[in-house]
Amino acid sequence: MQYQKDSTWIRCPICYGKTRTKVYADTVLLNFPLYCPKCKKETKVNVVQLNMTLSEEPDA
């Protein structure tokens, strides 16, 4: 059995509340539509090695 101990719940970049999206240290998300149950909004983010950055995109 292998433990996935390096995991974290992604926090909403707007309200910093916990979302229901979990990532591991080896999870890579690109332009991921992160949904926050608190803001009820979707924010596009990138997550690489547990570091989240906002994915800027024009509203077209």
Our finding on whether 30 is near Zn ion (CB under 5 A) is no
**CA atoms of 44 and 14, how far apart (whole Å):** 11
**Closest by CA position to 11, among listed 1, 21, 3:** 21
Our finding on whether 11 is near Zn ion (CB under 5 A) is no
Binding-residue total with Zn ion (CB under 5 A): 7
**CA atoms of 21 and 12, how far apart (whole Å):** 10
Q: For Zn ion, give the closer residue by CB, 17 or 28.
A: 17
Q: For Zn ion, give the closer residue by CB, 14 or 54.
A: 14
Interface positions with Zn ion (CB under 5 A): 12, 14-15, 17, 36, 38-39
